[in-house]
Amino acid sequence: MIRILIIEDDAAIREMLARRLVLRGHAVEQAPDGEQGLAMIRASVPDVVLLDHGLPGMSGWDVARALRADEAFKALPVIALTAHAGEPTRREAMGAGCTSFLTKPVDLKALEKELQRLVVPTEDR
Amino acid sequence: MIEQRRASLAARRVNDAAVVLGCFVGYVAVFYPAWSLLGPNAGTLTIVPVMAAGWLFGVAAGIGATATGVLLSYALIARVAPDPVTILLNNSLSIVAGFGIGGATGWVRQVLARLRRQTRRLEQRHARALLEAGLRKAAEEELLRVNATLEKACDEAVRASNEKSRFLARASHELRTPLAAIQGYAELLLEESELRGAPPATLARDLGRIVEASRHLTGLVDELLDISRIETGRLEVQLTSVDLRSLIEDVAAMMQPAAAVAGTRLRVDCSADLPWVRTDPRRARQVLLNLLSNAIKFTGEGDVEIVAGRAKSAPDEWAEIEVRDTGPGMSVDEQRLAFEEFWRGRSDKPGVGLGLSIAQRLCREMGGSVGVSAAPGAGAAFVVRLPVAAASADAQGARA
Protein backbone atom coordinates (compact mmCIF):
# COMPACT_ATOMS: atom_id res chain seq x y z
CA MET A 1 0.00 0.00 0.00
CA ILE A 2 1.21 3.45 -0.93
CA ARG A 3 -0.13 6.58 0.71
CA ILE A 4 -0.98 9.04 -2.04
CA LEU A 5 -2.09 12.66 -1.93
CA ILE A 6 -3.85 13.92 -5.06
CA ILE A 7 -3.80 17.68 -5.52
CA GLU A 8 -6.19 18.38 -8.39
CA ASP A 9 -8.87 21.06 -8.78
CA ASP A 10 -11.12 19.11 -11.16
CA ALA A 11 -13.33 17.11 -8.80
CA ALA A 12 -14.33 14.54 -11.45
CA ILE A 13 -10.76 13.71 -12.38
CA ARG A 14 -9.63 13.78 -8.74
CA GLU A 15 -12.32 11.39 -7.52
CA MET A 16 -11.93 9.08 -10.50
CA LEU A 17 -8.19 8.84 -9.88
CA ALA A 18 -8.72 8.39 -6.15
CA ARG A 19 -11.22 5.59 -6.59
CA ARG A 20 -9.11 3.74 -9.13
CA LEU A 21 -6.05 4.01 -6.92
CA VAL A 22 -8.07 2.78 -3.93
CA LEU A 23 -9.23 -0.16 -6.08
CA ARG A 24 -5.56 -0.97 -6.52
CA GLY A 25 -5.09 -1.04 -2.81
CA HIS A 26 -3.61 2.38 -2.08
CA ALA A 27 -4.55 4.89 0.58
CA VAL A 28 -5.59 8.12 -1.08
CA GLU A 29 -6.21 11.61 0.21
CA GLN A 30 -7.44 14.51 -1.91
CA ALA A 31 -6.87 18.27 -1.96
CA PRO A 32 -8.61 20.67 -4.37
CA ASP A 33 -5.84 23.30 -4.39
CA GLY A 34 -2.20 23.92 -3.58
CA GLU A 35 -2.65 25.61 -0.22
CA GLN A 36 -4.78 22.80 1.19
CA GLY A 37 -2.45 20.25 -0.33
CA LEU A 38 0.58 21.77 1.39
CA ALA A 39 -1.32 21.94 4.68
CA MET A 40 -2.22 18.25 4.39
CA ILE A 41 1.35 17.28 3.59
CA ARG A 42 2.60 19.19 6.62
CA ALA A 43 -0.02 17.48 8.80
CA SER A 44 0.79 14.00 7.55
CA VAL A 45 3.46 13.25 4.97
CA PRO A 46 2.25 10.90 2.19
CA ASP A 47 4.53 8.53 0.27
CA VAL A 48 3.91 10.33 -2.97
CA VAL A 49 2.07 13.39 -4.28
CA LEU A 50 0.12 13.48 -7.54
CA LEU A 51 0.22 17.13 -8.52
CA ASP A 52 -1.92 18.82 -11.14
CA HIS A 53 -0.33 21.80 -12.87
CA GLY A 54 -3.32 24.04 -13.54
CA LEU A 55 -4.46 24.77 -10.00
CA PRO A 56 -6.34 27.89 -8.91
CA GLY A 57 -4.16 30.27 -6.90
CA MET A 58 -0.87 28.54 -6.27
CA SER A 59 0.08 26.61 -9.42
CA GLY A 60 1.27 23.02 -9.29
CA TRP A 61 4.81 24.20 -9.98
CA ASP A 62 4.54 26.66 -7.04
CA VAL A 63 3.56 23.76 -4.81
CA ALA A 64 6.51 21.71 -6.05
CA ARG A 65 8.89 24.60 -5.41
CA ALA A 66 7.44 25.14 -1.93
CA LEU A 67 8.02 21.46 -1.14
CA ARG A 68 11.59 21.52 -2.43
CA ALA A 69 12.31 24.66 -0.40
CA ASP A 70 11.38 22.79 2.78
CA GLU A 71 14.09 20.50 4.13
CA ALA A 72 11.49 18.05 5.44
CA PHE A 73 9.99 17.38 1.99
CA LYS A 74 13.10 17.55 -0.18
CA ALA A 75 12.93 13.83 -0.99
CA LEU A 76 9.13 13.51 -1.24
CA PRO A 77 8.32 12.04 -4.68
CA VAL A 78 6.05 14.33 -6.70
CA ILE A 79 4.42 13.13 -9.94
CA ALA A 80 3.26 16.00 -12.10
CA LEU A 81 -0.03 15.52 -13.96
CA THR A 82 -0.79 17.83 -16.84
CA ALA A 83 -3.01 18.04 -19.87
CA HIS A 84 -0.08 19.61 -21.76
CA ALA A 85 1.87 16.83 -23.33
CA GLY A 86 5.25 18.00 -24.49
CA GLU A 87 8.84 18.66 -23.72
CA PRO A 88 8.62 22.31 -22.56
CA THR A 89 6.02 21.40 -19.95
CA ARG A 90 8.05 18.41 -18.84
CA ARG A 91 11.08 20.63 -18.44
CA GLU A 92 9.06 23.18 -16.44
CA ALA A 93 7.79 20.42 -14.18
CA MET A 94 11.24 18.99 -13.59
CA GLY A 95 12.66 22.49 -13.14
CA ALA A 96 10.11 23.19 -10.43
CA GLY A 97 11.23 20.07 -8.58
CA CYS A 98 8.78 17.38 -9.69
CA THR A 99 10.20 13.87 -9.68
CA SER A 100 8.20 12.53 -12.59
CA PHE A 101 5.74 13.64 -15.25
CA LEU A 102 2.56 12.06 -16.67
CA THR A 103 0.05 13.49 -19.10
CA LYS A 104 -3.72 13.32 -18.83
CA PRO A 105 -5.65 11.19 -19.54
CA VAL A 106 -3.56 9.26 -17.05
CA ASP A 107 -2.77 5.72 -18.00
CA LEU A 108 -3.27 3.89 -14.70
CA LYS A 109 -0.82 1.18 -15.68
CA ALA A 110 1.89 3.77 -16.30
CA LEU A 111 0.98 5.54 -13.07
CA GLU A 112 1.17 2.32 -11.10
CA LYS A 113 4.60 1.65 -12.61
CA GLU A 114 5.78 5.13 -11.62
CA LEU A 115 4.42 4.67 -8.08
CA GLN A 116 6.28 1.39 -7.68
CA ARG A 117 9.44 2.93 -9.11
CA LEU A 118 9.40 6.10 -7.00
CA VAL A 119 8.20 4.85 -3.66
CA VAL A 120 10.80 2.80 -1.87
CA PRO A 121 8.93 -0.19 -0.59
CA THR A 122 8.86 0.09 3.21
CA GLU A 123 7.03 -1.92 5.82
CA ASP A 124 3.37 -0.96 6.03
CA ARG A 125 2.89 1.81 8.47
CA MET B 1 42.07 116.41 -120.93
CA ILE B 2 41.39 117.31 -117.32
CA GLU B 3 37.65 117.23 -118.01
CA GLN B 4 37.99 113.89 -119.67
CA ARG B 5 39.77 112.47 -116.57
CA ARG B 6 37.12 113.94 -114.24
CA ALA B 7 34.38 112.35 -116.29
CA SER B 8 36.17 109.04 -116.29
CA LEU B 9 36.59 109.22 -112.47
CA ALA B 10 32.90 110.01 -111.97
CA ALA B 11 31.90 107.19 -114.28
CA ARG B 12 34.07 104.78 -112.28
CA ARG B 13 32.50 105.91 -108.94
CA VAL B 14 29.01 105.47 -110.31
CA ASN B 15 30.06 102.10 -111.61
CA ASP B 16 31.48 101.11 -108.17
CA ALA B 17 28.37 102.31 -106.32
CA ALA B 18 26.15 100.40 -108.73
CA VAL B 19 28.17 97.23 -108.21
CA VAL B 20 27.98 97.48 -104.38
CA LEU B 21 24.26 98.30 -104.50
CA GLY B 22 23.65 95.47 -106.97
CA CYS B 23 25.53 93.00 -104.81
CA PHE B 24 23.60 94.04 -101.69
CA VAL B 25 20.20 93.89 -103.38
CA GLY B 26 21.14 90.57 -105.00
CA TYR B 27 22.19 88.98 -101.70
CA VAL B 28 19.21 90.18 -99.72
CA ALA B 29 16.81 89.17 -102.45
CA VAL B 30 18.33 85.72 -102.84
CA PHE B 31 19.49 84.75 -99.34
CA TYR B 32 16.54 85.82 -97.28
CA PRO B 33 14.11 83.43 -99.02
CA ALA B 34 16.76 80.71 -99.23
CA TRP B 35 17.53 81.16 -95.50
CA SER B 36 13.92 80.88 -94.44
CA LEU B 37 13.23 78.07 -96.90
CA LEU B 38 16.17 75.98 -95.69
CA GLY B 39 15.86 77.31 -92.18
CA PRO B 40 17.95 76.28 -89.17
CA ASN B 41 15.65 73.37 -88.52
CA ALA B 42 16.63 71.68 -91.79
CA GLY B 43 19.05 68.79 -91.83
CA THR B 44 22.83 68.73 -92.29
CA LEU B 45 22.63 68.23 -96.06
CA THR B 46 21.03 71.66 -96.60
CA ILE B 47 24.48 73.25 -96.28
CA VAL B 48 25.14 72.18 -99.90
CA PRO B 49 22.11 73.91 -101.50
CA VAL B 50 22.60 77.01 -99.36
CA MET B 51 26.23 77.34 -100.39
CA ALA B 52 25.40 76.55 -104.01
CA ALA B 53 22.69 79.19 -103.98
CA GLY B 54 25.13 81.67 -102.41
CA TRP B 55 27.70 81.01 -105.10
CA LEU B 56 25.20 81.04 -107.94
CA PHE B 57 23.60 84.31 -106.91
CA GLY B 58 26.96 85.83 -106.02
CA VAL B 59 28.00 85.25 -109.64
CA ALA B 60 24.63 86.46 -110.98
CA ALA B 61 24.60 89.53 -108.75
CA GLY B 62 28.19 90.39 -109.74
CA ILE B 63 27.41 90.17 -113.45
CA GLY B 64 24.16 92.09 -112.99
CA ALA B 65 25.78 94.80 -110.89
CA THR B 66 28.64 95.22 -113.38
CA ALA B 67 26.21 95.49 -116.26
CA THR B 68 24.15 98.09 -114.32
CA GLY B 69 27.31 100.07 -113.51
CA VAL B 70 28.41 100.08 -117.17
CA LEU B 71 24.96 101.14 -118.37
CA LEU B 72 24.63 103.84 -115.70
CA SER B 73 28.06 105.29 -116.39
CA TYR B 74 27.21 105.43 -120.11
CA ALA B 75 23.85 107.10 -119.50
CA LEU B 76 25.22 109.67 -117.02
CA ILE B 77 28.50 110.48 -118.65
CA ALA B 78 27.85 109.62 -122.28
CA ARG B 79 31.16 110.27 -123.71
CA VAL B 80 33.33 108.32 -121.43
CA ALA B 81 34.46 105.09 -122.93
CA PRO B 82 33.96 102.04 -120.71
CA ASP B 83 37.19 100.84 -119.18
CA PRO B 84 37.45 97.05 -119.84
CA VAL B 85 39.86 96.55 -116.92
CA THR B 86 37.43 98.20 -114.48
CA ILE B 87 34.56 96.16 -115.82
CA LEU B 88 36.51 92.91 -115.41
CA LEU B 89 37.76 93.90 -111.95
CA ASN B 90 34.28 94.83 -110.73
CA ASN B 91 32.87 91.69 -112.16
CA SER B 92 35.41 89.34 -110.57
CA LEU B 93 35.17 91.20 -107.27
CA SER B 94 31.40 90.58 -107.23
CA ILE B 95 31.87 86.94 -108.13
CA VAL B 96 34.47 86.37 -105.39
CA ALA B 97 32.27 88.22 -102.89
CA GLY B 98 29.29 86.10 -103.99
CA PHE B 99 31.25 82.90 -103.50
CA GLY B 100 32.59 84.07 -100.14
CA ILE B 101 29.29 85.23 -98.74
CA GLY B 102 27.41 82.17 -100.09
CA GLY B 103 29.92 79.76 -98.56
CA ALA B 104 30.16 81.68 -95.30
CA THR B 105 26.40 81.77 -95.00
CA GLY B 106 26.17 78.04 -95.53
CA TRP B 107 28.93 77.46 -92.96
CA VAL B 108 27.34 79.76 -90.38
CA ARG B 109 24.02 78.13 -91.07
CA GLN B 110 25.49 74.70 -90.53
CA VAL B 111 27.22 75.71 -87.31
CA LEU B 112 23.99 77.26 -86.09
CA ALA B 113 22.04 74.17 -87.08
CA ARG B 114 24.51 71.95 -85.28
CA LEU B 115 24.27 74.11 -82.18
CA ARG B 116 20.50 74.00 -82.40
CA ARG B 117 20.55 70.29 -82.77
CA GLN B 118 22.85 69.86 -79.83
CA THR B 119 20.69 72.15 -77.77
CA ARG B 120 17.64 70.23 -78.78
CA ARG B 121 19.30 66.94 -77.99
CA LEU B 122 20.38 68.23 -74.60
CA GLU B 123 16.90 69.53 -73.96
CA GLN B 124 15.41 66.21 -74.94
CA ARG B 125 17.86 64.35 -72.80
CA HIS B 126 17.12 66.64 -69.91
CA ALA B 127 13.41 66.24 -70.43
CA ARG B 128 13.79 62.49 -70.64
CA ALA B 129 15.92 62.47 -67.52
CA LEU B 130 13.32 64.55 -65.73
CA LEU B 131 10.59 62.24 -66.95
CA GLU B 132 12.54 59.15 -65.98
CA ALA B 133 13.33 60.57 -62.59
CA GLY B 134 9.68 61.39 -62.13
CA LEU B 135 8.58 57.97 -63.32
CA ARG B 136 11.17 56.23 -61.20
CA LYS B 137 10.10 58.17 -58.16
CA ALA B 138 6.46 57.37 -58.86
CA ALA B 139 7.33 53.72 -59.46
CA GLU B 140 9.37 53.59 -56.26
CA GLU B 141 6.52 55.11 -54.31
CA GLU B 142 4.12 52.63 -55.86
CA LEU B 143 6.50 49.80 -55.05
CA LEU B 144 6.79 50.93 -51.46
CA ARG B 145 3.05 51.21 -51.20
CA VAL B 146 2.43 47.76 -52.71
CA ASN B 147 5.19 46.36 -50.52
CA ALA B 148 3.63 47.86 -47.43
CA THR B 149 0.26 46.41 -48.41
CA LEU B 150 1.79 43.00 -49.00
CA GLU B 151 3.71 43.10 -45.76
CA LYS B 152 0.57 44.05 -43.94
CA ALA B 153 -1.36 41.23 -45.62
CA CYS B 154 1.46 38.82 -44.86
CA ASP B 155 1.59 39.93 -41.22
CA GLU B 156 -2.15 39.49 -41.00
CA ALA B 157 -1.95 36.03 -42.55
CA VAL B 158 0.83 35.02 -40.18
CA ARG B 159 -1.10 36.47 -37.27
CA ALA B 160 -4.25 34.65 -38.34
CA SER B 161 -2.31 31.41 -38.76
CA ASN B 162 -0.68 31.83 -35.35
CA GLU B 163 -4.06 32.65 -33.89
CA LYS B 164 -5.44 29.47 -35.43
CA SER B 165 -2.57 27.42 -34.06
CA ARG B 166 -2.98 28.98 -30.62
CA PHE B 167 -6.68 28.24 -30.80
CA LEU B 168 -5.92 24.65 -31.78
CA ALA B 169 -3.51 24.33 -28.88
CA ARG B 170 -6.00 25.82 -26.44
CA ALA B 171 -8.92 23.84 -27.82
CA SER B 172 -7.08 20.53 -27.79
CA HIS B 173 -5.91 21.22 -24.25
CA GLU B 174 -9.44 22.02 -23.15
CA LEU B 175 -10.72 18.90 -24.92
CA ARG B 176 -8.28 16.65 -23.11
CA THR B 177 -9.69 17.32 -19.64
CA PRO B 178 -13.28 16.15 -20.24
CA LEU B 179 -11.92 13.33 -22.39
CA ALA B 180 -9.73 12.27 -19.50
CA ALA B 181 -12.83 12.18 -17.29
CA ILE B 182 -14.88 10.17 -19.78
CA GLN B 183 -12.12 7.65 -20.37
CA GLY B 184 -11.18 7.51 -16.69
CA TYR B 185 -14.72 6.88 -15.46
CA ALA B 186 -15.38 4.24 -18.11
CA GLU B 187 -12.20 2.50 -17.01
CA LEU B 188 -13.17 2.95 -13.36
CA LEU B 189 -16.60 1.38 -13.95
CA LEU B 190 -14.97 -1.49 -15.80
CA GLU B 191 -12.48 -2.03 -12.99
CA GLU B 192 -15.13 -1.82 -10.29
CA SER B 193 -17.47 -4.23 -12.01
CA GLU B 194 -14.61 -6.64 -12.60
CA LEU B 195 -13.72 -6.42 -8.94
CA ARG B 196 -17.28 -7.37 -7.95
CA GLY B 197 -17.11 -10.48 -10.12
CA ALA B 198 -17.58 -10.98 -13.82
CA PRO B 199 -19.55 -7.99 -15.17
CA PRO B 200 -22.40 -8.62 -17.63
CA ALA B 201 -20.85 -9.14 -21.08
CA THR B 202 -22.74 -6.24 -22.63
CA LEU B 203 -21.63 -3.84 -19.88
CA ALA B 204 -17.97 -4.85 -20.26
CA ARG B 205 -18.23 -4.50 -24.03
CA ASP B 206 -20.00 -1.11 -23.90
CA LEU B 207 -17.59 0.32 -21.36
CA GLY B 208 -14.74 -1.02 -23.49
CA ARG B 209 -16.18 0.85 -26.44
CA ILE B 210 -16.37 4.10 -24.48
CA VAL B 211 -12.75 3.64 -23.45
CA GLU B 212 -11.72 2.81 -27.00
CA ALA B 213 -13.57 5.78 -28.50
CA SER B 214 -12.19 8.23 -25.99
CA ARG B 215 -8.67 6.89 -26.55
CA HIS B 216 -9.16 7.38 -30.25
CA LEU B 217 -10.46 10.89 -29.70
CA THR B 218 -7.53 11.69 -27.42
CA GLY B 219 -5.22 10.51 -30.19
CA LEU B 220 -6.90 12.86 -32.68
CA VAL B 221 -6.70 15.75 -30.24
CA ASP B 222 -2.99 14.99 -29.79
CA GLU B 223 -2.53 15.12 -33.57
CA LEU B 224 -4.18 18.54 -33.69
CA LEU B 225 -1.93 19.66 -30.87
CA ASP B 226 1.13 18.37 -32.71
CA ILE B 227 0.14 20.18 -35.89
CA SER B 228 -0.39 23.42 -34.01
CA ARG B 229 3.00 22.97 -32.33
CA ILE B 230 4.69 22.28 -35.65
CA GLU B 231 3.07 25.31 -37.23
CA THR B 232 4.06 27.68 -34.45
CA GLY B 233 7.55 26.19 -34.38
CA ARG B 234 7.11 24.98 -30.82
CA LEU B 235 7.64 21.32 -31.56
CA GLU B 236 10.84 20.23 -29.89
CA VAL B 237 12.59 16.94 -30.27
CA GLN B 238 15.03 15.55 -27.73
CA LEU B 239 17.67 13.61 -29.62
CA THR B 240 19.45 10.80 -27.80
CA SER B 241 20.99 7.48 -28.76
CA VAL B 242 18.19 4.96 -29.09
CA ASP B 243 18.29 1.18 -29.44
CA LEU B 244 16.31 0.87 -32.65
CA ARG B 245 15.73 -2.87 -32.29
CA SER B 246 14.00 -2.64 -28.93
CA LEU B 247 12.04 0.42 -30.11
CA ILE B 248 10.74 -1.52 -33.12
CA GLU B 249 9.95 -4.60 -31.04
CA ASP B 250 8.05 -2.42 -28.53
CA VAL B 251 6.02 -0.78 -31.26
CA ALA B 252 5.24 -4.10 -32.93
CA ALA B 253 4.14 -5.56 -29.61
CA MET B 254 1.89 -2.55 -29.01
CA MET B 255 0.22 -2.97 -32.39
CA GLN B 256 -0.10 -6.76 -32.23
CA PRO B 257 -3.60 -6.73 -30.64
CA ALA B 258 -4.94 -4.29 -33.26
CA ALA B 259 -3.37 -6.39 -36.02
CA ALA B 260 -5.00 -9.53 -34.61
CA VAL B 261 -8.40 -7.83 -34.57
CA ALA B 262 -8.00 -6.71 -38.20
CA GLY B 263 -6.76 -10.12 -39.33
CA THR B 264 -3.32 -8.77 -40.26
CA ARG B 265 -0.20 -10.89 -39.84
CA LEU B 266 2.44 -8.58 -38.36
CA ARG B 267 6.08 -9.59 -38.68
CA VAL B 268 9.35 -7.92 -37.65
CA ASP B 269 12.61 -8.49 -39.48
CA CYS B 270 15.56 -6.60 -37.99
CA SER B 271 18.97 -7.18 -39.56
CA ALA B 272 21.73 -8.44 -37.27
CA ASP B 273 23.82 -5.26 -37.66
CA LEU B 274 20.93 -2.89 -36.90
CA PRO B 275 22.64 0.20 -35.41
CA TRP B 276 21.56 2.52 -32.64
CA VAL B 277 20.07 5.72 -33.97
CA ARG B 278 20.13 9.33 -32.89
CA THR B 279 16.50 10.27 -32.43
CA ASP B 280 13.74 11.30 -30.04
CA PRO B 281 12.44 7.93 -28.76
CA ARG B 282 8.94 9.19 -28.00
CA ARG B 283 8.57 10.83 -31.42
CA ALA B 284 10.17 7.94 -33.31
CA ARG B 285 7.72 5.61 -31.59
CA GLN B 286 4.88 7.93 -32.62
CA VAL B 287 6.04 7.85 -36.27
CA LEU B 288 6.32 4.05 -36.36
CA LEU B 289 2.99 3.59 -34.57
CA ASN B 290 1.37 5.83 -37.13
CA LEU B 291 2.87 3.96 -40.10
CA LEU B 292 1.96 0.59 -38.58
CA SER B 293 -1.60 1.53 -37.70
CA ASN B 294 -2.06 2.92 -41.23
CA ALA B 295 -0.67 -0.27 -42.73
CA ILE B 296 -2.95 -2.44 -40.60
CA LYS B 297 -5.92 -0.16 -41.26
CA PHE B 298 -5.53 -0.40 -45.04
CA THR B 299 -4.39 -4.00 -45.30
CA GLY B 300 -6.98 -5.76 -43.19
CA GLU B 301 -6.54 -9.44 -43.89
CA GLY B 302 -3.01 -9.58 -45.23
CA ASP B 303 0.59 -9.06 -44.22
CA VAL B 304 2.43 -6.17 -42.67
CA GLU B 305 6.15 -6.42 -42.26
CA ILE B 306 8.66 -4.17 -40.53
CA VAL B 307 12.10 -4.55 -42.11
CA ALA B 308 14.92 -2.64 -40.47
CA GLY B 309 18.59 -2.40 -41.28
CA ARG B 310 21.38 -0.11 -42.36
CA ALA B 311 20.74 1.90 -45.52
CA LYS B 312 22.41 0.23 -48.50
CA SER B 313 23.64 3.53 -49.96
CA ALA B 314 25.22 4.85 -46.74
CA PRO B 315 25.32 2.08 -44.13
CA ASP B 316 27.42 4.11 -41.69
CA GLU B 317 25.12 7.10 -41.74
CA TRP B 318 21.55 5.89 -42.01
CA ALA B 319 19.28 3.25 -40.59
CA GLU B 320 16.15 2.40 -42.57
CA ILE B 321 12.90 1.10 -41.18
CA GLU B 322 10.52 -0.08 -43.86
CA VAL B 323 6.86 -0.76 -43.15
CA ARG B 324 5.54 -2.96 -45.98
CA ASP B 325 1.97 -3.99 -46.45
CA THR B 326 -0.07 -6.06 -48.91
CA GLY B 327 -2.90 -3.53 -48.93
CA PRO B 328 -4.50 -1.78 -51.93
CA GLY B 329 -1.36 0.25 -52.72
CA MET B 330 -1.31 3.83 -53.96
CA SER B 331 -1.25 5.65 -57.30
CA VAL B 332 1.51 8.16 -58.07
CA ASP B 333 -0.85 11.04 -57.24
CA GLU B 334 -1.84 9.46 -53.98
CA GLN B 335 1.81 8.99 -53.06
CA ARG B 336 2.45 12.65 -53.76
CA LEU B 337 -0.53 13.78 -51.67
CA ALA B 338 -0.10 11.27 -48.88
CA PHE B 339 1.95 13.64 -46.69
CA GLU B 340 -0.37 16.63 -47.16
CA GLU B 341 -2.26 17.84 -44.12
CA PHE B 342 -5.85 16.63 -43.91
CA TRP B 343 -5.51 14.53 -47.08
CA ARG B 344 -7.39 11.29 -46.63
CA GLY B 345 -7.51 9.94 -50.16
CA ARG B 346 -10.45 7.75 -51.05
CA SER B 347 -10.32 6.31 -47.58
CA ASP B 348 -13.50 5.55 -45.68
CA LYS B 349 -11.37 4.70 -42.67
CA PRO B 350 -11.50 6.85 -39.54
CA GLY B 351 -8.94 9.62 -39.22
CA VAL B 352 -8.47 13.31 -39.98
CA GLY B 353 -5.52 12.95 -42.33
CA LEU B 354 -2.83 14.37 -40.10
CA GLY B 355 -0.86 11.26 -39.16
CA LEU B 356 1.51 11.07 -42.14
CA SER B 357 1.93 14.83 -42.29
CA ILE B 358 2.98 14.81 -38.64
CA ALA B 359 5.19 11.77 -39.18
CA GLN B 360 7.00 13.52 -42.01
CA ARG B 361 7.59 16.70 -40.03
CA LEU B 362 8.72 14.74 -37.01
CA CYS B 363 11.20 12.78 -39.14
CA ARG B 364 12.57 16.00 -40.61
CA GLU B 365 12.76 17.56 -37.17
CA MET B 366 14.80 14.56 -36.01
CA GLY B 367 17.18 14.89 -38.96
CA GLY B 368 15.67 11.96 -40.85
CA SER B 369 13.06 11.46 -43.52
CA VAL B 370 10.10 9.35 -44.52
CA GLY B 371 9.09 8.34 -48.02
CA VAL B 372 6.75 6.00 -49.79
CA SER B 373 6.95 3.63 -52.70
CA ALA B 374 3.85 1.88 -53.89
CA ALA B 375 1.79 0.86 -56.88
CA PRO B 376 -1.97 0.45 -57.19
CA GLY B 377 -2.89 -3.08 -56.16
CA ALA B 378 0.66 -3.95 -55.11
CA GLY B 379 0.76 -2.75 -51.53
CA ALA B 380 2.67 0.17 -50.09
CA ALA B 381 6.06 0.55 -48.43
CA PHE B 382 6.86 3.48 -46.18
CA VAL B 383 10.54 3.95 -45.41
CA VAL B 384 11.79 5.93 -42.42
CA ARG B 385 15.44 6.98 -42.41
CA LEU B 386 17.08 7.93 -39.15
CA PRO B 387 20.70 8.97 -38.62
CA VAL B 388 22.93 6.34 -37.05
CA ALA B 389 24.04 7.39 -33.56
CA ALA B 390 27.67 8.51 -33.47
CA ALA B 391 28.48 6.48 -30.36
CA SER B 392 26.50 3.51 -31.60
CA ALA B 393 29.12 0.90 -30.86
CA ASP B 394 29.90 2.32 -27.40
CA ALA B 395 26.26 2.43 -26.46
CA GLN B 396 25.75 -1.15 -27.54
CA GLY B 397 28.91 -2.14 -25.72
CA ALA B 398 27.77 -0.37 -22.58
CA ARG B 399 24.50 -2.18 -22.72
CA ALA B 400 25.92 -5.61 -23.45
Report which secondary-structure segment, H or E, holds A29: strand A27-31
CB-based contacts of B154-162 (< 8 A; 24+ apart in sequence) = B161/B231, B162/B232
Of A87, A88, A104, which has the smallest distance from its Cβ to B180's Cβ?
A104
Q: Is A4 exposed, middle or buried (0-12, 13-18, 19+ CB in 10 A)?
A: buried
What local confidence, expressed as pLDDT, does residue B171 receive? Answer: 81
Whether residue B221 is found in the same domain as residue B255: no
Number of domains in chain B: 3
Number of domains in chain A: 1
Whether residue B168 is found in the same domain as residue B55: no
Tell me, yes or no, whether B26 lies in a domain: yes
Whether residue B192 is found in the same domain as residue B285: no
Q: Of B231, B252, B271, which closes a domain?
A: B231
Query: Do residue B184 and residue A105 have CB atoms under 8 angstroms apart?
Result: yes
What local confidence, expressed as pLDDT, does residue A125 receive? Answer: 45
Whether residue B274 is found in the same domain as residue B355: yes
Whether residue B110 is found in the same domain as residue B64: yes
Nearest to A104 by CA among A10, A3, A1, A5: A10
Count of beta carbons in the 10 Å neighbourhood of residue B260: 12
Tell me, yes or no, whether B48 lies in a domain: yes
Whether residue B246 is found in the same domain as residue B200: no
**Helix-then-strand count for chain B, H and E:** 9, 7
Q: Of B231, B258, B273, which closes a domain?
A: B231
What is the reported pTM? 0.56
Write out chain B residues lying below 8 Å of A10, CB-based: 177, 181
* CATH code, domain with B291: 3.30.565.10
Whether residue B218 is found in the same domain as residue B358: no
Whether residue B382 is found in the same domain as residue B245: yes
Tell me, yes or no, whether A27 lies in a domain: yes
The length of chain A is 125
Q: Of B92, B113, B133, which closes a domain?
A: B133
Write out chain B residues lying below 8 Å of A108, CB-based: 187
Sorting pLDDT into bands at 50, 70 and 90, what band is A83?
Answer: confident
* CATH code, domain with B194: 1.10.287
Tell me, yes or no, whether A16 lies in a domain: yes
Chain B contact present for A71, CB below 8 A: no
Tens digits of pLDDT across chain B (400 residues): 677 677 667 766 766 676 666 666 666 665 555 555 555 555 555 566 666 666 676 667 666 766 766 676 666 655 555 566 766 666 666 667 666 766 676 677 677 878 888 899 999 999 999 999 999 999 999 999 999 999 999 999 888 888 887 787 788 778 888 888 999 999 999 888 888 887 788 888 888 889 888 888 888 888 887 887 777 777 778 888 999 999 999 899 988 888 898 899 999 999 888 899 999 888 899 899 989 988 898 888 899 999 999 988 888 889 999 999 998 888 888 888 888 877 777 666 666 678 888 888 889 888 899 988 877 878 888 999 999 988 644 444 444 3
What local confidence, expressed as pLDDT, does residue B148 receive? Answer: 94
Whether residue B246 is found in the same domain as residue B225: no
Of B185, B234, B238, which has the smallest distance from its Cβ to A16's Cβ?
B185
Whether residue B249 is found in the same domain as residue B315: yes
Tell me, yes or no, whether B140 lies in a domain: no
Q: Is B53 exposed, middle or buried (0-12, 13-18, 19+ CB in 10 A)?
A: buried
**A82 forms bridges with which residues in the sheet?**
A103
Tell me, yes or no, whether A61 lies in a domain: yes
Phi, psi of B288 (to 5 degrees): -65, -40
Write out chain B residues lying below 8 Å of A16, CB-based: 181, 184-185, 188
Whether residue B244 is found in the same domain as residue B338: yes
d(CA B304, CA B324): 6
Tell me, yes or no, whether A96 lies in a domain: yes
Residues B80-114 as b or e (16 or more Cβ within 10 Å = b) = beebeebbeebbebbbebbbebbbebbeebbeebe
Domain range for residue A78? 3-118
Domain range for residue B395? 240-399
Tell me, yes or no, whether A67 lies in a domain: yes
ipTM of the complex in this document: 0.85
* CATH code, domain with A25: 3.40.50.2300
Tell me, yes or no, whether A123 lies in a domain: no
Nearest to A58 by CA among A79, A42, A37: A37
d(CA B313, CA B48): 85
